[in-house]
């Protein structure tokens, strides 16, 4: 979908720059790149997480807005595991049809549930910096819808799992990485008949790894806690107190997820400004 949107934007005259890291933002004027190049812009829309945005704004950030950003917890308690498979999982609750065929259950998001007691236990142990006995997992099989991303006959699986400690009571992510990976694979295996035999290799990415890899502060994929006190109307607005500066990421209303509403809200706010503010635009969903 992102590639399609990019092509539509190019057809409309939009210039897309990649590998052009931003060093600073000056609302109402533009941005300066790491290379030293300055790009003028009347309106700036930022998809970076709130903490990273604060760093880019520096002293130009509104002090009240800065205080609100700093009040939002951004320490991730999730782990990402990328897995290479010999075959797709054979779920006990919905067995595969066999013969290496791709079934409907492999072409959507799969959630592996925990009991209420297991959720509470996992949370309490995470808060103490300890590993849970069982972990909640959300699974995606990219190769089930696009075979070109894996070698013939093999499959990819990405796992989003929680809760894990942001900081461990004993050791660190490097010393606990293999244990967390085994916990995730074993948890998935409790719902399948062909795990861990189907696993060829896996990569474990904790919060620190996500931070270093993609720049998300605290490795928080939701750009801030998604507990009720930090969600919906309590989230940051797309429109900021800084002139002609908007936010469109998961850290804004209504909250974190891949759903497009955050960008939609920012787009409507920008359109209102560009039209001179003469029209009333519904900016929130």
Determine, yes or no, domain membership for 41: yes
Asked if residue 156 has pLDDT above 50, the reply is yes
Sign of CA pseudo-dihedral 117, 120, 123, 125: negative
Q: Show contacts of 173-177: CB within 8 Å, 24+ apart.
A: 173/206, 173/207, 173/208, 173/209, 176/131, 177/204, 177/206
89-142 pLDDT, tens digit per residue, is 999 999 999 888 899 999 999 999 999 999 999 999 999 999 999 999 999 999
Same domain, 82 and 67: no
Number of domains in the chain: 2
Please give the mean pLDDT across all residues of the chain: 93
Same domain, 83 and 172: yes
Q: Residue 100 has what pLDDT?
A: 82
Where in the sequence is the domain holding 94, given as residue range(s)? 78-214
Backbone phi, then psi, for 45, in 5-degree steps? -120, 125
255-284 pLDDT, tens digit per residue, is 888 888 999 999 999 999 998 754 444 444
Same domain, 103 and 58: no
Taking residues 24-38, what's their average pLDDT? Answer: 97
For residues 184 and 157, the answer to whether their CB atoms sit within 8 Å is no
Q: Which of 153, 155, 120, 147 is nearest to 136 (CA)?
A: 120
Q: Residue 283 has what pLDDT?
A: 43
48-59 pLDDT, tens digit per residue, is 999 999 999 999
């Amino acid at each position: 979908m992102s590639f399609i949107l990019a092509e539509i934007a190019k057809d409309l005259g939009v210039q897309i720059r990649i590998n052009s890291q931003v060093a600073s933002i000056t609302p109402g004027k533009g941005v300066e790149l790491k290379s030293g190049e300055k790009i003028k812009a009347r309106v700036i829309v930022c998809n970076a997480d709130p903490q990273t945005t604060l760093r880019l704004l520096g002293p130009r950030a509104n002090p009240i807005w800065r205080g609100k950003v700093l009040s939002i917890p951004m320490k991730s308690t999730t782990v990402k595991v990328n897995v290479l498979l010999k075959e797709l999982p054979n779920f006990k609750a919905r067995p595969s049809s066999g013969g290496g065929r791709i079934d409907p259950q492999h072409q959507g998001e799969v959630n592996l549930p925990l009991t209420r007691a297991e959720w509470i236990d996992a949370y309490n142990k995470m808060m103490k910096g300890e590993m849970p006995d069982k972990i909640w997992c959300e699974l995606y099989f990219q190769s089930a819808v696009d075979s070109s991303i894996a070698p013939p006959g093999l499959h990819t699986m990405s796992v989003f799992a929680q809760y894990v400690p942001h900081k461990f009571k004993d050791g660190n992510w490097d010393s606990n990485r293999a244990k967390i990976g085994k916990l995730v694979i074993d948890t998935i295996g409790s719902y399948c008949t062909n795990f861990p035999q189907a696993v060829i290799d896996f990569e474990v990415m904790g919060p620190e790894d996500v931070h270093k890899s993609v720049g998300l502060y605290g490795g928080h994929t939701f750009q801030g806690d998604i507990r009720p006190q930090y969600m919906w109307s309590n989230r940051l607005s797309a429109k900021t107190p800084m002139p002609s500066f908007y936010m469109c990421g998961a850290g804004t209303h209504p909250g974190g997820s891949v759903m497009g509403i955050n960008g939609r809200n920012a787009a409507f706010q920008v359109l209102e400004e560009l039209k001179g503010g003469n029209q009333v635009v519904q900016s929130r969903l």
